[in-house]
Amino acid sequence: MADTRRRVERLIDTDPVIKKGLQRGIINTRALARFILDDAGLDSTEDAVLGIIRRYSFDQVILSDNGQSFRDCKLVLTSHVGLLEADPQRDVVKQIAEFASVERTTRGENVTVAMRNRSVRVIADQRSLERLQQSLSPKNIIRYSNDLSEISILLPPDPQSAKRIIASFTSELALNDISVEAMTDCSPELSIVVKDKEAGHTLDVLQRMLKETVNQSRVFFSSKRKAGLLRSRPQSFADILPQLQPLGGLSVL
């Protein structure tokens, strides 16, 4: 039974569509149990898998301590940026460092520079980046793209909270079929680069996810009752009533 539970939870963990659907309560859990039995070839019963799914969906997906971490996030959108990846040779890295210094100190422009295993990545204003591209030897340029937008996300200082937030953002982008040109983790800041034409939609998706997560940190449904509300030390009935109204379908007895 323990092996079945681990395999079911692993399948949910690695499928952002299923995980988000469970979180939002829009998946038929019995149908999901039948799917998992057929797809994973488990030696178990439908009711046993259903029980594992129900415990996972109500006890693990929604974590009440996520709210503060996500509430501290800040989103900043910068349009018309370019992305350049170059060979990390010593002279190339030196030239990029000088470029970043001038852009930040003289022009006041934001520049993201990240060293990778086999390249150095630069994200900056596309007009400025074009000048850097032209100054580099073509053989040292691995990739260059323009007409992009950068969404910078200021992460909380706690490493575990930051990892949880990055995973949530990645899953949400995949769920909404958003093509990410680049993602760079320069803690305490996460940089997500998309096409200019997708920037508005991407920002809306991330803002909606932040709002939903913060709300879920205060309100969730209990597996033991049809509908329940949890909030830290409510002051009075009048204090929690405004949170009941947006849920719909609830009556006050």
C-alpha–C-alpha distance, residues 182 and 152, integer Å: 12
User: Which range is least confidently modeled, 14-23, 80-89, 141-150, 228-237?
Assistant: 228-237
Residue 62 has pLDDT above 70, yes or no: no
Q: How many CA atoms lie within 13 A of 22 on its CB side?
A: 27
C-alpha angle 63/234/236, rounded to 5°? 155
pLDDT (tens digit per residue) in 75-116: 889 999 999 999 999 999 999 999 999 998 887 888 989 888
Residue 224 has pLDDT above 60, yes or no: no
What mean pLDDT comes out for the span 138-142?
95
Q: What amino acid occupies position 24?
A: R
Residue 247 has pLDDT above 50, yes or no: no
CB of 124 closer than 8 Å to CB of 110? yes
Residue 129 has pLDDT above 60, yes or no: yes
Looking at per-residue confidence, does 18 or 201 come out higher?
201
- Give the model's pLDDT for residue 234: 36
Tokens describing residue 59 = 């006890």
Residue 243 has pLDDT above 50, yes or no: no
C-alpha–C-alpha distance, residues 157 and 68, integer Å: 12
- Give the model's pLDDT for residue 216: 54
Q: Which residues contact 128 (CB under 8 A, 6 or more apart)?
A: 99, 103, 107, 109
CB of 172 closer than 8 Å to CB of 209? yes
- Give the model's pLDDT for residue 69: 62
- Give the model's pLDDT for residue 134: 94
Tokens describing residue 61 = 């997906």
Residue 185 has pLDDT above 60, yes or no: yes
What stretches of 126-176 adopt beta strand conformation (E)?
A: 141-154
Cis omega before residue 188 (within 30°)?
yes
Tell me which residue of 201, 250, 213 sits closest to 20, measured CA to CA. 213
Residue 34 has pLDDT above 50, yes or no: yes
Tokens describing residue 111 = 């520049």
Q: What amino acid occupies position 82?
A: G
Q: What is the pTM of this model?
A: 0.61
Residue 165 has pLDDT above 90, yes or no: no
First-to-last C-alpha distance (Å) of the chain:
40
- Give the model's pLDDT for residue 214: 64
- Give the model's pLDDT for residue 127: 93
Tokens describing residue 249 = 């379908």
Tokens describing residue 82 = 């370019």
